[in-house]
Amino acid sequence: GSILDLDIKPGTQDKDAVGRVMINREAGTITVRATQASHKEIQRFLDQVMSSARRQVLIEGTIVEVVLSDTYQAGVDWKILAKNADGFDLTQNFSGGLTASSDNVVAPNFLLTYKNPLSDIGNVLSTVKALEEFGDVKILSSPKIIALNNQTAILKVVDNRVYFTLGVDVTLNEDGQTTREKSESIVHTVPIGLVMNVTPYIGENKEVLINVRPTISRILGFVNDPNPELAAVNVISQVPEVQVREMESLLRVSSGQVAVIGGLMQDKKDSLKYEVPLLGQLPLFGRLFSYEKEEVVKTELLIFLRPTIVENASIERDLRQFKQYLPAGEMTSPTSLPTQNTPPGERSP
């Protein structure tokens, strides 16, 4: 049935501790009859479960794109950055507990430990500034999101590119000639950019185990739809050819520490046009004084993640650092009723 009745047998520590448990699945209740000591153990266990279920993780991300210079086409050399920077240490912290020092740390995944987080060189922005040694640096996004313990959060930095697929319905007569054409276009969108799934697991000693899966997509070009019905009526429908790169990693990070994911590299093609001023804009003859050049640049995407355990998700407690982003007087104090002006000579009730 829906009610399960179990006897609690004596344990090894307390031979006299016996009781009974009744589980009502339909009502969603558990009734326990036991000694006072057993009830205290049950209460302690329930408090631990509720505390773990209510805890959340604030995930602060910084997504950076580095257009690599000719010297560093192999990617950002973190060994050089670690030697030149005095504000942080680099370590690789694997989920199994192994740790590598900054002397042999390599991409793609490692941890940043800032020696003095309150100084000018003790934050992520200072590290991003130091990356300019390897090429042009651009911050694509700085998302902040709160996720429940063991729940997945999704961070997106994408452009939804639109393309159309065409369908043609052709009606032929007895002679095989087209008598009627009916076309229909369907709108499709494909996300181009970065999509990242982050799942935090809160462990002991304020450590967070992060399951990270970033996916990068870009359009390589367009190909023609090989539908023979389109070719029969000389209709060209192009669909995008999308390249997808995906990786998955498991990091063990202390609360407030910064994890870095690197090694996400790709080539970008840029078409540049060079022309002689004024002469290059002349009609007919302007092409004689201008030329186009296609350049391929190599970029590396770096992801900085800082998980922080939130015990009390209150704007006055663990989230007080974000209070400055709220509008003044809103969400920070109870809303008061508007006061009525009392005309002269009258008393307010």
pLDDT of residue 10: 52
In whole angstroms, give the CA distance from residue 98 to residue 95.
7
Checking if the pLDDT of 103 tops 60, the result is: no
Hey, what long-range contacts does 176-183 have (CB within 8 A, 24 or more apart)?
178/233, 181/233, 183/235
Tens-place pLDDT, residues 257-299: 888 888 778 877 766 676 777 777 777 777 777 767 777 788 8
* Mean pLDDT, the chain, integer: 73
- Number of DSSP helices (H) and strands (E) in the chain, helices first: 4, 16
Question: What integer is the mean pLDDT of 40-61?
Answer: 80
In whole angstroms, give the CA distance from residue 201 to residue 198.
10
In whole angstroms, give the CA distance from residue 33 to residue 38.
9
In whole angstroms, give the CA distance from residue 243 to residue 220.
6
Q: Are strands 135-141 and 56-68 parallel, antiparallel or unpaired?
A: antiparallel
Tens-place pLDDT, residues 130-170: 888 888 998 888 888 888 888 898 988 889 999 888 777 76
Residue 126 vs residues 52, 87, 88, 118: alpha-carbon distances, Å: 34, 9, 10, 12
Tens-place pLDDT, residues 297-328: 888 888 888 888 887 655 555 555 555 544 55
What pLDDT band is residue 173 in, cutting at 50, 70 and 90? low
pLDDT of residue 313: 59
Report which of 47, 44, 59, 42 is spatially closest to residue 201, judged by C-alpha positions: 59
3-state secondary structure of 131: helix
pLDDT of residue 85: 60
Instruction: Read off the pTM.
Output: 0.63
- In one-letter notation, the amino acid at residue 30 is I
- Under 8 Å between Cβ of 137 and 128: yes
pLDDT of residue 145: 86
pLDDT of residue 197: 92
Distance of CA 76 to the CA centre of its chain: 22
Tens-place pLDDT, residues 196-232: 899 999 888 888 888 989 888 888 888 888 877 777 7
| Residue 267, phi then psi, degrees to nearest 5 | -100, 135
Report which of 240, 191, 245, 189 is spatially closest to residue 215, judged by C-alpha positions: 245
Question: Structure tokens of 22?
Answer: 């009744």
Q: What DSSP letter does each residue of 275-294 carry, written as one string?
A: E-TTGGGSTTTGGGGEEEEE
3-state secondary structure of 65: strand
Q: Are strands 153-172 and 178-202 parallel, antiparallel or unpaired?
A: antiparallel
